[in-house]
């Protein structure tokens, strides 16, 4: 099923995912080189996430009636410019600005790219097509971030951004060569785009995405201290465990795509239930290396298995203006990233031990599950009402 257009979208997703997450492994180097504290350097992560959240709707509206091929090529161009600015940044302020510029392309690219990917295949394979595009994002965690971090540590952090710039150029060439010259799109006005925000079902999907992401990052943000201080692993072993987690994300994206094409809402509900169970189990297994690693792999599978169903769901429910809704969903995921890290940090600041963090994730994912069940109930009732009126 991996057609050349989908491959081009996946390459771009790989580059975007790498530049988003690799900064975490380069924070000490960036802080030392630019003369700022580690917490200040950490704000580069927050700045990127907020750039995605705020920039996503702005860019989506700006490109609403632009041909999809042109929009995607323009966004990857913005990505290249942003990474060049990162590599050349003379100080912290310019680097922060460059990160925000790069983030502006993130949400809109994944949002528009999801709609394009879904339109390239038969209706019963849309979730799998979206999953293939997002496979680039998961592979960024498995390959891009470790190699980018190693490169930055050996040759300086700027070399990593130059490498990502090269990936962006290759993605731009692939998109230019392989995306169809004409991609069907709906002509929409700004009023139509904003009208989608009045739909309660669309807003529910956005909230579910934010909560699901917050559940993940309330624990994953602090996975290194958990593995070192609770599980007792060495820093080198932690790196290998994160690689296992990344493999889980990749498997989960493919699994989520297949099951979502089979039965969308039941699959999403099942994944959320399983996530709550696995996070609860992690509170017991985190003290022993092998059980902890197995649990983390399963957690990774489930954490990304929910992404394709949610992306398909928001496109379906916002069929009148899918580009804005799909893009906003990326903003919702990134809002969840930032808020999840905050939830976990608040728990630690309140005096709770690292071993209790998975319970924070459970509470948040149960909230996402409740909202999903409510949404499914509304959808079922609407369907019954429509059937009875006929």
The reported pLDDT for the residue numbered 366 is 97
Q: Which one of 1.20.1250.20, 2.120.10.70, 3.40.190.10, 3.30.1020.10 gives the CATH number of domain 1-184?
A: 1.20.1250.20
- Per the prediction, the chain carries an average pLDDT of 88
What beta strand segments (E) does the chain contain? none
Q: Is-same-fold flag (1-184; 188-389)?
A: yes
pLDDT of residue 240: 85
Shortest CA distance to 357 belongs to which of 231, 206, 208, 250? 231
Write the DSSP assignment of 84-120 as a string of letters.
HHHHH--SHHHHHHHHHHHHHHHHHHHHHHHHHHHHT
Residue 323 Cα distances to 123, 192, 259, 311, 327, angstroms: 17, 11, 23, 11, 6
pLDDT for the residue numbered 16? 95
At 87-107, the pLDDT tens digits run 999 999 999 999 999 998 998
Q: Model's pTM, two decimal places? A: 0.82
Most confident listed range (14-23, 141-150, 199-208, 283-292) = 283-292
Look at residue 188 and tell me whether its pLDDT is greater than 80: no
Q: CB 232: neighbour CB atoms within 10 A?
A: 12
Query: How is the chain split into domains, by residue range?
Result: 1-184, 188-389
CATH of domain 188-389: 1.20.1250.20
Please give the pLDDT value at position 301.
95
User: SS3 sequence, 7-59?
Assistant: HHHHHHHHHHHHHHHCHHHHHHHHHHHHCCCHHHHHHHHHHHHHHHHHHHHHH
* Residue 173, both tokens: 């060439």
What pLDDT band is residue 310 in, cutting at 50, 70 and 90? very high
d(Cα 317, Cα 339) in Å, to the nearest integer? 25
Instruction: Tell me the pLDDT tens digit for each residue of 343-362.
Output: 888 888 888 998 999 999 99
Residue 246's pLDDT band, with cuts at 50, 70 and 90, is: confident
List, for residues 56-74, the tens digit of each pLDDT value: 888 888 887 788 899 999 9
User: Residue 75 to residues 92, 232, 330: CA-CA distances in angstroms?
Assistant: 24, 43, 15
Average pLDDT over residues 361-369: 97
Question: Which residues are within 8 A (CB) of 266 and not within 5 positions of it... i.e. 6 or more apart?
Answer: none
- Of 18, 8, 221, 254, nearest to 131 by C-alpha is 254
pLDDT for 322-333, tens place per residue?
A: 778 888 888 888
Confidence of residue 186 (pLDDT cuts 50, 70, 90): low
Structure tokens of 387?
């059937």
9: which DSSP letter?
Answer: H
Q: How far apart are CA 366 and CA 77, in angstroms?
A: 40
Separation CA 105–CA 113 (nearest Å): 11
Q: How far apart are CA 62 and CA 64, in angstroms?
A: 6
- Taking each continuous run of H as one helix and of E as one strand, the counts in the chain are 17, 0
Q: In this structure, are residues 11 and 164 in contact, taking their beta carbons and an 8 Å threshold?
A: no
Beta carbons of 336 and 211 less than 8 angstroms apart: yes
């Amino acid at each position: 099923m991996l057609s050349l257009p989908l491959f081009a979208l996946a390459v771009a997703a790989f580059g975007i995912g790498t530049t988003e997450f690799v900064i975490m492994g380069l924070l000490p180097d960036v802080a030392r080189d630019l003369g700022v504290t580690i917490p200040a350097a950490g704000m580069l992560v927050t700045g990127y996430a907020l750039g995605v959240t705020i920039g996503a709707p702005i860019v989506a509206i700006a490109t609403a009636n632009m041909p999809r091929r042109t929009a995607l090529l323009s966004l990857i161009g913005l990505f290249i410019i942003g990474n060049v600015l990162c590599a050349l940044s003379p100080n912290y302020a310019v680097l922060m600005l460059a990160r925000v510029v790069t983030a502006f392309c993130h949400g809109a690219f994944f949002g528009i790219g999801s709609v394009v990917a879904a339109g390239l295949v038969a209706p019963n394979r849309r979730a799998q097509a979206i999953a293939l595009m997002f496979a680039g994002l998961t592979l960024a965690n498995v390959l891009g971030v470790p190699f980018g971090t190693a490169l930055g540590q050996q040759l300086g952090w700027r070399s990593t951004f130059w490498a990502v710039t090269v990936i962006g150029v290759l993605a731009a060439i692939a998109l230019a060569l392989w995306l169809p010259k004409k991609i069907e799109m709906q002509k929409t006005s700004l009023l139509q785009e904003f009208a989608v925000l009045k739909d309660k079902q669309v807003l529910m999907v956005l909230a579910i995405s934010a909560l699901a992401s917050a559940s993940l990052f309330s624990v994953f943000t602090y996975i290194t201290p958990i593995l070192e201080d609770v599980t007792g692993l060495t820093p080198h072993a932690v790196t290998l465990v994160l690689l296992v987690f990344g493999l889980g994300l990749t498997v989960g994206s493919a699994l989520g795509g297949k099951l979502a094409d089979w039965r969308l809402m039941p699959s999403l509900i099942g994944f959320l239930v399983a996530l709550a169970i696995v996070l609860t189990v992690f509170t017991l297994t985190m003290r022993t290396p092998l059980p902890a690693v197995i649990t983390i792999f399963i957690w990774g599978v489930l954490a990304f298995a929910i992404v394709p169903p949610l992306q398909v769901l928001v496109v379906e429910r916002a069929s009148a203006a899918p580009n804005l809704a799909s893009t906003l969903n990326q903003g919702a995921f990134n809002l969840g990233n930032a808020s999840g890290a905050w939830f976990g940090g608040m728990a630690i600041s309140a005096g709770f031990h690292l071993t209790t963090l998975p319970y924070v994730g459970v509470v948040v994912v149960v909230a996402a599950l409740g909202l999903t069940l409510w949404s499914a109930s509304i959808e079922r009732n609407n369907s019954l009402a429509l059937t009875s009126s006929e």
